Amino acid sequence: MARTVLTGQSGSPGAGIGRLLWLGGPLNGAAHPAPRRLGRAAGHDAHGVDPAAEERRLLEALAVAAAELESLARETAERAGPDIGGIFEAQAMFARDPGIVEPAIAAIREGAAAEEAIDRVAAEQAEALAGVDDPYFRERAADLRDVGRRVLDRLMGRSQPDLHHRDGTPAILAAPDVDPSQVAGIRPGLVAGLALAAGAPNGHAAIVARALGIPLVLGLGAALHVGLDRRSVVIDGGAGRLIVDPDPDDRKAATNERPAMAAGAGAPASWSPGAPLPLGIRIEANVGSVAEAEQAAEAGADGIGLVRTELMFLGRTIAPGVNEQRALYRRILDAMGGRPVVFRTLDVGGDKPAGFEPGDPEANPALGVRGIRLGLRRPELLETQLRALLEAAAGRELRVLIPMVSTFEEVRQARTALDRAAAAARTAGADIATEVRFGVMIEVPAAALVVDSLAPEVDFFSIGTNDLVQYTIAADRTNAALADLATPDQPALLRLIGMVCRAAEQFGRPVGVCGEAAADPEIASLLAGLGVTELSVAPRSVARIRAAVATFDPETVRAAAAEALAAPTAARVREIARAGYARTAASVAEG
């Protein structure tokens, strides 16, 4: 067939070769009902369900799941080799493991529905495995969660598409759209990329894909359709292209994708990696996984400005416990070798629904119970995480960042929760962090407007430009049709950032930016001129932004920022940013 190139937007860089697997959709894990959790009385639950019947349902679902997985293991082993087949063989063993089956049956006899029993037992056993600091056990934890989801789907009468080809050929998954939790469930060994008809680069599905290193192309529109199912494709996430029926040159280019820019590439000759940057700016990384933390360290990041902790737990139906969280956070701290790491507490809600927090349907989730609002309404969820963070950082400094802050009262209440978590850890005899730095995110205009009141209560600020522009401009960040509005060069956004920087300076509080704006050299020059001292970007962008910042001339970027604050339009802001960045780069080159 003729080679065809579909062009969309870059969602996550990287290239992959495989066969397209059409999933239909949109995939939406949040739309599924939560597992039944029923009380019982006199041998029956409140709805008259017989425990013996629940036990039979569970055993039948486990047997079917085991048989499906054993068949899949044989098929993939024959076609793709024993390593791929071994993934499903291990899962089949879990479905028959007495260590899983017997506790689930016991839970039913104690009053749980079959759905709740397998959901809870699989989560508890997986957490125990994930809490062991060993890669083998972490892989088995992922397998066990997959088995739990498979059995739960069968019990609840819902079907999920296989996110792989049964013959083991790498799949390029294709769908109209996808939830972040669905992306989190992808097994990289079986999937080489993801192509979507819709989606936005600043949406959380794209952020999860970048965290997992999955190439992603967005916004392909009607050109991506079911008629392409099972066609040979090459995906180029960096260029935003999907090539159908690629030629040999396309395949070679995907195989030999150019490595990331080396540290310091493009910087002036007088500058060397590790040298202080103009205006004392630090280049840090945004991460959502241990792998990304390792990439950040290799890229020479000065630290991690944002750990998106919620991305590690999407797709779960049971909230993660202390042991699993502690082990994961410790690995991230270890990866950075003593460089500062900022952990944002769980920020679920909006386009990041959490299966373990189904809640009531909200007409507008982006304006609903998310971030610290959820944490304060579910104190056990927030304090479990804070305790895990405190224990993970035992003997070290801990930096905690609170998301979606709108009011002074929320800051005070979050600090109180941190104190309670520390007390709980000490009562349990655990060692905790020797020093805690407490920060808040500025992503709601209300917080920016009262930042002078918040500053005495916190140690640092982090501006999330993706959400701040969304709420300031009233433009959904996930709506591709509004992408021209949700941009970092909006005058209103710059004025809010300037307000935050001025108030923070009065109290000696550093200000970082962890949104996509930090990765734009032209906008970054304005941020530096406004007083931002930390730019946190994706690991792959660390070297590029460090090289750009090395060219900043303090007087030039401050003058450009002052001019931009008076600009009436986004187009004019961009003109000023472009001209200022060009001038500062030229002045450094001449010097």
Q: Which of 164, 165, 204, 501 is the catalytic position?
A: 204
DSSP assignment of 99-153: HHHHHHHHHHHTT--HHHHHHHHHHHHHHHHHTSS-HHHHHHHHHHHHHHHHHHH
Instruction: Output Rg (C-alpha) for the chain, integer angstroms.
Output: 25
CA distances from 308 to 228, 369, 377 (A): 34, 18, 20
Is 159 within 8 Å of 8 (Cβ atoms)? no
Q: Please indicate whether residue 501 is annotated as part of the active site.
A: no
Tokens 């406004």 sit on residue: 530
Q: Name every residue whose Cβ is closer than 8 Å to that of residue 504 and which is 6 or more positions away in sequence.
A: 451, 455, 461, 510, 511, 531
- Name the CA dihedral angle for 129, 133, 137, 143, rounded to a multiple of 10 degrees: 70
Q: Is there a catalytic annotation at residue 514?
A: yes
The structure tokens listed for 239 are: 């260029």
Q: What are the tokens at 503?
A: 């108030």
- Is the Cβ–Cβ distance between 148 and 122 less than 8 Å? yes
* DSSP single-letter state for residue 394: B
Q: Which residue out of 164, 165, 501, 514 is catalytically annotated?
A: 514
- Closest Cα to residue 463, out of 289, 286, 250? 286
151 touches 114 (CB < 8 A): no
Q: Which residues of 28-51 are buried (b: 16+ CB within 10 A; e: fewer)?
A: ebbeeeebbebebeeeebeeebeb
Residue type, 11: G
- The set of catalytic residues is 204, 514
